[in-house]
Structure 1
Amino acid sequence: MTNSEEKETSILIIYTGGTIGMVQHPHSGTLAPFKFDQIKKEIPELNKFNYNIETVTFTPPLDSSNMSPRNWVKIARIIQKNYNRFNGFVVLHGTDTMAYTASALSYMFENLDKPIIFTGSQLPIGTLRTDGKENLITSVEIAAARKNGMSLVPEVCIYFDFKLYRGNRAVKRDADLFSAFRSVNYPELAVAGVDIRFRTEFIHCNENKGILKVNTQFDDNVVILKIFPGINQQVFNSVFNIPGLKGVVLETFGSGNVPTSRWLINCIKKAIRRNIILLNVTQCEGGRVSMGQYETSLDLIKAGVVSGHDMTTEAAITKLMFLLGQELPVTEIKMRLNKSLRGEISE
């Protein structure tokens, strides 16, 4: 980035809640959110950037366990409202559901040409050993990174513990380690060390240069059903007969396999005949669904189950909710589920 670009760079930080925004009260020792309108005072290291940094704070801040599609829309609307004023956006978010929110935002923004970087921390930013300062400072630097006037990472991403991931490819892998996130099926977009090394060959760029569109409709009449040894017909029938149900993400064994019990396959067939959409993803951390590779998944193809390929569960369920929200015909939804919208599937 040139000096002139640096001087005119503006970054918006959106604090939704989460551990990263907590500081310890000097007298009581309790943790409470710090005042984000004084962020440069709380984190003086940010003053070394010659950026205009502004903040927006959720009131009250949300524990990420309470995040919902309504809150995803709120974040998107804040970004949309400020899109022309800022060069990049940093969203501070609790780690528990960060991968869901990042996946949802990736689908909502069409023709995105600026970075939306999600980050958080495992320890409050006000504690001595916090990982929050590095995560925040580097996220701001990545959000500001430009070359020839163009953002280097025009994607929805997650930055954590020195690594930048595509948002709809990352999953939370550990509740205790600083390396809380991982992307098994897609490489890191950048690695931060002495310098930030951007892996441009893996970064999606908006080649169409179309006008930004923000689609905010979601349909939450969906469920995730994890297949396990001993799952019985009563459980299966109960799930598939939920009133108003429109879609099911099946977490299956290995490359997309389920037990070959006739009642199970018949239940799936009946659901599909009622226009309930079934999307098949693997329970494994890595790899992909390849239905038909084994006899135990052949019946799923015949029944009309859609392959989720190598999507994460977080990317799959938010994509299903997003496409259902667009009120498209079932055949169109199935076609789009089977293709990559924002780099969530390897093609």
Structure 2
Amino acid sequence: MKKILFINTGGTISSSYQEHGLTPTQNAESILTEIPELLEICEIDACDLMSMDSTNTQPEDWAVIARMVNRDLPHYDGIVIAHGTDTMAYTASALSFMLGTLNKPVVLTGSQVSILAENSDSKKNVIDSFLTACGEVPGVFVVFNGKIINGPRSSKIRTRSYNAFESINYPYIGLVEDGNVQYDRSLKAAHPEGHVYDDRYCAEVFLLRLIPGTNPGIFDAIQSLGYKGIVIEGFGLGGVPFKERSLIDKIEQLMREGMSIAVTTQCPYEGGDLTIYEVGQKVLEKGVIPGYDMTTEALVTKMMWALGQTSSPEEVKQIMATNYVNEVSLPAVQPVNQPSSQHS
């Protein structure tokens, strides 16, 4: 029988109603007590690393979790982490980069309803997660509503429904149905050289979602607060305005001064492409980092991780352009003025 480590970090799954609303109160052992079926699946050691609503999660917490997983994973066949759903995709993405190339599964899960409530989704999610952690496919995964999702491709897209998470721009790693785990065997893991454990990060990354009329002065404000990187969610395929309130000059200025800037799309599906439209090409010509089809969560945490390794904008760009854990689909080299039938 395989041996799995269960780490509790809080979230809705461990919450109960308190004076100011749902608050994490249950420890790891009490969560497991509610699911006796787990004893038939594997041996379990349990611990409480932290107890928080994941809204309060900070980048420092990702490093704490990563250090524990890195220390303990050699002694177990897999690890299951109970985590709040609101920032689970950020944690899963950050761990994917920090932990390096894995040879065992590390699974994050949670629930939309407390484990103490009737008809909660928590028990199924936890059982499915332990089944996945006992499996032979390595990596960092989010397991939710019967779906096994590559960590940096996960995103919470629904606030209440049990099918809260989806895999963005990448197939599901597998499905769990009636206690059976079925993997997509056609998927091949990325194994870039040198992807070893490294939990260094730089939290000074700002996410800017553009709206019509965005004041270019916002970039001065971001810089004044000490940020080292910016992820810009542009329009459509990643367009950035260059007329009227043009943002191009400010972006170029900050990059000359050493800021790392990535541009992606506000649309969750199908990814961005800065080569198609003039509004993309103009900002691409300035040297920004294309986001391609990465989730915003993966793009933000990857830039934090990259800036933790180096302060060189060129080295950051190289890290961002490397596919470490199938977090990005890098396109084949194409001419800039490729004909397209895309519509704005």
Q: TM-score, normalised by structure 1?
A: 0.88
2:48 corresponds to? 57
Task: Give the 3-state SS of the residue equivalent to 1:200 in structure 2.
Answer: coil
Runs of 5+ consecutive residues of structure 2 not aligned to the other structure = 331-344
Q: Does 1:43 align with 2:43?
A: no
Shift of 1:224: 0.5
Task: Give the 3-state SS of the residue equivalent to 2:75 in structure 1.
Answer: coil
Task: Give the 3-state SS of the residue equivalent to 1:202 in structure 2.
Answer: coil
1:112 corresponds to? 102
Letter of the 2:46 counterpart: T
Letter of the 1:260 counterpart: F
Match of 2:216 among 222, 227, 233: 233
* In structure 1, C-alpha distance between the alignment counterparts of 2:96 and 2:254, rounded to whole Å: 29
Residue 260 of structure 2 contacts residue 288 of structure 2 at CA under 8 Å; is this kept in 1? Answer: yes
* In structure 1, C-alpha distance between the alignment counterparts of 2:263 and 2:22, rounded to whole Å: 44
* In structure 2, C-alpha distance between the alignment counterparts of 1:231 and 1:319, rounded to whole Å: 25
* In structure 1, C-alpha distance between the alignment counterparts of 2:225 and 2:25, rounded to whole Å: 40
* In structure 2, C-alpha distance between the alignment counterparts of 1:31 and 1:225, rounded to whole Å: 30
2:5 corresponds to? 12
After superposition, residues 65-214 of structure 1 pair within 5 angstroms as 65-145=55-135, 151=136, 153-194=137-178, 195-202=180-187, 204=189, 213-214=196-197
Shift of 1:243: 3.7
Task: Give the 3-state SS of the residue equivalent to 2:159 in structure 1.
Answer: coil
* In structure 1, C-alpha distance between the alignment counterparts of 2:44 and 2:278, rounded to whole Å: 56
Q: Does 1:344 align with 2:327?
A: yes
Task: Give the 3-state SS of the residue equivalent to 2:142 in structure 1.
Answer: strand
Q: Deviations over 1:185-221 (max 9, x none)?
A: 001011122332111222527698x9x9321111111
Runs of 5+ consecutive residues of structure 1 not aligned to the other structure = 1-6, 146-150
Q: TM-score, normalised by structure 2?
A: 0.89
* In structure 2, C-alpha distance between the alignment counterparts of 1:207 and 1:276, rounded to whole Å: 26
Residue 113 of structure 1 contacts residue 205 of structure 1 at CA under 8 Å; is this kept in 2? Answer: no
Identity among equivalent positions (%) equals 35
Letter of the 1:45 counterpart: E
Task: Give the 3-state SS of the residue equivalent to 2:206 in structure 1.
Answer: strand
* In structure 2, C-alpha distance between the alignment counterparts of 1:207 and 1:247, rounded to whole Å: 24
1:261 corresponds to? 243
Instruction: Say if 1:261 and 1:14 are closer, same or farther in 2 by CA, change over 3 A.
Output: same
Q: Does 1:33 align with 2:63?
A: no
Q: Does 1:272 align with 2:262?
A: no
* In structure 2, C-alpha distance between the alignment counterparts of 1:307 and 1:32, rounded to whole Å: 38
* In structure 1, C-alpha distance between the alignment counterparts of 2:226 and 2:28, rounded to whole Å: 41
* In structure 1, C-alpha distance between the alignment counterparts of 2:27 and 2:260, rounded to whole Å: 45
Letter of the 2:234 counterpart: T
RMSD: 2.1
* In structure 2, C-alpha distance between the alignment counterparts of 1:320 and 1:103, rounded to whole Å: 11
Letter of the 1:71 counterpart: D
Residue 23 of structure 1 contacts residue 31 of structure 1 at CA under 8 Å; is this kept in 2? Answer: yes
Instruction: Say if 1:34 and 1:185 are closer, same or farther in 2 by CA, change over 3 A.
Output: same
